[in-house]
Amino acid sequence: MDSPQNSPPDVPAEPEGGPREPILTLPSALTAYIILLAVIHLRILLPPELENWTIDVFGFIPKRYDSSLLNLQIPGGTGAKVWTFVTYSLLHANLTHLGFNVLWLLPFGSALARRFGAVRFYVFLAVTAAAGALAHLVTHEHAIAPMIGASASVSGAMAAAIRFAFVRGSFLSFSRTDAETAAKVPALPLSRALRDGRVLGFLSVWFGVNIIFGIGAIGVGSEGATVAWQAHIGGFFAGLLLFSLFDPVPRARGDAADASSRDISNRI
């Protein structure tokens, strides 16, 4: 029998479900993406003519695809018709624009980057950016003003994250575990998610805010540029519908999802 002198000191028990890490501990994939956005934003230090050129070449301009304007010369040529579906999402009008997108990306993008891994995460951001550009093109086919900003990708990340955000143990549940475990809980099937009151509440608020922005033509930044809310919705729907194609975590069974939902509802 061990003597009292050799007994290990008392160690406080960890809370049930494991250690609770800060919700905004950033994974390396998201950190790298934010740093990339910040470095690219240094373009505002360029002379005005060169800065405008970068927006024309890498921003998304619907009129670039207008076949009736054969003599219209927009910098970037044919290549810009391809790469601007993604590159526009790496440009921002000002620090407020950039900061707002990063702020929304922190909780949802962190969980998604941990769940997907770096490669899937970056491809997902590119796909949702392209979906947002397509939605903007369909609704603004003759617009010559460049669209820039990561909002469509951020919207896609938010939509994807709500597929698992409210599941027991995930990052928006009342029984959240550590960040890595919270990001790997089985997601709700889409049909089940669309019957979940918390998901529907989130969708209602999100769409309501975007409709208000759209109807009111609310400007962003000192330049008075309006919010491209159709691109937000395009990215959001792409993230919601395409999530399963990227998700490496097996789906939750219907009975397990229902049990998780009931458990959390009892805690509210």
**pLDDT tens figures, 227-242:** 778 899 999 999 999 9
pLDDT at position 231: 92
Task: Give buried/exposed letters for 174-213 (b at 16+ CB in 10 A, else e).
Answer: eebbebebbbbbbbbbeebbeebebbeebbeebeeebeeb
Q: Which two tokens stand for residue 189?
A: 């099937």
Is 80 exceeded by the pLDDT of residue 184? yes
pLDDT of residue 33: 97
Residue 75 has pLDDT above 90, yes or no: no
**Three-class DSSP category at 163:** coil
- pLDDT at residue 167 tops 60: yes
Report the pLDDT value the prediction gives residue 213, as an integer from 0 to 100: 62
- DSSP for 15-67, written as a single string: PTTS----TTPPPHHHHHHHHHHHHHHGGGGS-HHHHHHHHHHHSB-GGGG-T
Give the pLDDT confidence score for residue 18 in this predicted structure: 46
State the pLDDT at residue 62.
92
Q: Summarize the confidence of residues 232-258 as an average pLDDT.
A: 82
Whether the pLDDT of residue 179 is over 50: the answer is: yes
Q: What is the mean pLDDT of the chain?
A: 81
Q: Which CATH number fits domain 24-267: 3.90.950.10, 1.20.1540.10, 3.30.70.260, 2.30.30.280?
A: 1.20.1540.10
Q: pLDDT value at position 28?
A: 95
Report pLDDT for 142.
83
Give pLDDT, residue 181. Answer: 83
Q: What is the dihedral of CA 96, 98, 101, 106, to 10 degrees?
A: -110
Higher pLDDT, 231 or 251: 231
Predicted confidence (pLDDT) per residue in 77-133, tens digit: 889 999 999 999 999 999 999 999 999 999 899 999 999 999 999 999 999 999 999
pLDDT tens digits along 132-156: 999 999 998 888 889 999 999 999 9
CA distances from 101 to 74, 86, 170, 242 (A): 28, 16, 22, 21
Q: Hey, where are the domains in the chain?
A: 24-267
Report residue 251's pLDDT band, with 50, 70 and 90 as the boundaries. Answer: confident
**pLDDT at position 217 over 90:** no
**pTM confidence score:** 0.79
Per the CB < 8 A criterion, the answer to whether 134 and 174 are in contact is no
Express as a percent the part of the chain with pLDDT over 90. Answer: 48
Q: What is the pLDDT of residue 175?
A: 72
